[in-house]
Amino acid sequence: QKEVEQNSGPLSVPEGAIASLNCTYSDRGSQSFFWYRQYSGKSPELIMSIYSNGDKEDGRFTAQLNKASQYVSLLIRDSQPSDSATYLCAVKKGMNYGGSQGNLIFGKGTKLSVKP
Amino acid sequence: DAGVIQSPRHEVTEMGQEVTLRCKPISGHNSLFWYRQTMMRGLELLIYFNNNVPIDDSGMPEDRFSAKMPNASFSTLKIQPSEPRDSAVYFCASSFNGLTLTSQETQYFGPGTRLLVL
């Protein structure tokens, strides 16, 4: 099993719809989870972080975490064409990783396309 | 704040040549990361420094790759000799490591160096 898995997409949604991006991870010791957005040809930028089970909302973005199911998701409400990008899920390694504890493991990303 | 600075932004070289990538982290950050991104493998961590000391280099592909951080404001990633399979985008990122599990250790990425080895 890959350490962090995402559906590569592309995920296509119409403008104004809700985009739902999903991520599963294998390390039960992980405590910190991040969503990065990467526009084509640009570097990743952090948009959300979540540490506790449940939902965390920030503007149009909601991150959801379920540690029991080892699942984290990102919802984008009222999607805009400017949201078209690749979304990378990142999981911080837990204590059982020893020296590499604290490093981020990235999924390969889901490409989102929002159609006007 | 200027953010993480990387140079060069683009590099085209021939197989067998030495390539040196440079990174200046955000002032005050004590952790520095080198990543490589390809379509096939995604974003992979190559090496991680904390307070200028290499902590985890398990992602370094082989002996052809080496990284140094002589001081808190500068790091290099060297490939010698370079091979076509090294073609990728190399990102440097920095963060402040608060050494607590729940601290928000946001990693800030530089613009990347696009390397093409012919």
Per-chain mean pLDDT for chain A: 91
CA gap B6, B108 in Å, rounded: 12
Antiparallel, parallel or unpaired: β B10-13 and B113-117: parallel
How distant, in Å, are the alpha carbons of A87, B35, B47 from that of B23? 24, 12, 13
User: In B, which residues are within 8 Å of A86 by CB distance?
Assistant: none
Is the pLDDT at B70 greater than 80? The verdict is: yes
User: In A, which residues are within 8 Å of B111 by CB distance?
Assistant: 42-43
Confidence at residue B1, expressed as pLDDT on a 0 to 100 scale = 63
Work out the percent of chain A whose per-residue pLDDT is above 70. 91
Which amino acid, residue B33?
F
In this structure, are residues A100 and A1 in contact, taking their beta carbons and an 8 Å threshold? no
Is the pLDDT at A99 greater than 90? The verdict is: no
* Interface residue B49 vs chain A (CB under 8 A): no
HSE of A61, CA atoms in CB hemisphere, 13 A:
16
User: In B, which residues are within 8 Å of A45 by CB distance?
Assistant: 109
Work out the percent of chain B whose per-residue pLDDT is above 90. 74
Query: How confident is residue B58, by pLDDT bands cut at 50, 70 and 90?
Result: confident
Could you check whether the bond before residue B54 is cis, i.e. omega within 30 degrees of 0?
no
- Average pLDDT over every residue of A74-86: 97
Q: Which of the pair, A7 or B22, is modelled with greater confidence?
A: B22
* Interface residue A39 vs chain B (CB under 8 A): no
CB-closest option in B43, B58, B107 to A100: B58
Is the pLDDT at A61 greater than 90? The verdict is: yes
Q: Which of the pair, B97 or A29, is modelled with greater confidence?
A: A29
CA gap A116, B15 in Å, rounded: 44
Confidence at residue A111, expressed as pLDDT on a 0 to 100 scale = 96
CA gap A79, B94 in Å, rounded: 30
